[in-house]
Amino acid sequence: MTSTSEDIEQIAGLTLAYYNARAEIFWEGTRDHDVRQNIDALLDAIPGVLPLTILDFGCGPGRDLKVFKERGHIAVGLDGSKEFATMARAYSGCEVLRQDFLKLDLPAARFDGVFANATLFHIPSQELPRVLSEIYTALKPGGILFSSIPHGNGTEGWNNERYAVYHQPEAWRRYGEAAGFTELHHFYRPTGSPRDQQPWLASVWRR
């Protein structure tokens, strides 16, 4: 089913409203999550020397943004939530762009890497090709996109007042390749668990 522009506005608005209303609860529930494996997967794939310019796409309250900064990189956050953007600036001391994922205005070829950890699954599949193309353009040639999504059987719709898409791994690969990316590798999280207990698909892509 094709969504209208009004549908897309509602998807973005209600999903952001969910996070704005629960910003503090979300922060308390996620601030101690260990995603070093994901951060290392991005940074290890980027050739070059410090400092790298990293866009934390959907930075939330700024947990990972601060880690990138502490590792010596130029870290820039992006989030559509007003509450998250304010919290991320205060917590990390980094530049944070307040932008709706579906209304991006990114500079061309600015970033060495884009870290999209648990964010891109909120984008309706209808809009995903455009968004991935915009991220591709924002990366420098040879730049790296890291993405982590909850994979599934392709279902799409509302889940607990947030819009979510649970892509099949093969479909996710097709989206990335169609946007011009080359997949370097992928893995499932949490590491060491049986596959049916690994809900997260992490993948590393080169422009």
Q: Tell the burial category of 197 from Cβ atoms under 10 Å away from its Cβ (0-12, 13-18, 19+).
A: exposed
Predicted local distance difference test score (pLDDT) of residue 1: 61
pTM as predicted: 0.96
pLDDT level of residue 192 (50, 70, 90 thresholds): confident
pLDDT level of residue 91 (50, 70, 90 thresholds): very high
- Tell me the domains of the chain and their CATH numbers: 5-206 (3.40.50.150)
CB 22 within 8 A of CB 14: no
DSSP E strand stretches across the chain: 53-57, 74-79, 95-98, 111-117, 139-150, 156-159, 162-165, 182-189, 200-206
Alpha-carbon gap, residue 86 to 114, rounded angstroms: 20
What's the count of helices (H) and strands (E) in the chain, helices before strands?
7, 9
Give tens-digit pLDDT for 11-24.
999 999 999 999 99
Predicted local distance difference test score (pLDDT) of residue 3: 86
196 contact partners, CB below 8 Å, separation of at least 6: none
Alpha-carbon gap, residue 32 to 67, rounded angstroms: 12
Pairwise pLDDT comparison (195 vs 40), residue with the higher score: 40
Pairwise pLDDT comparison (200 vs 47), residue with the higher score: 200
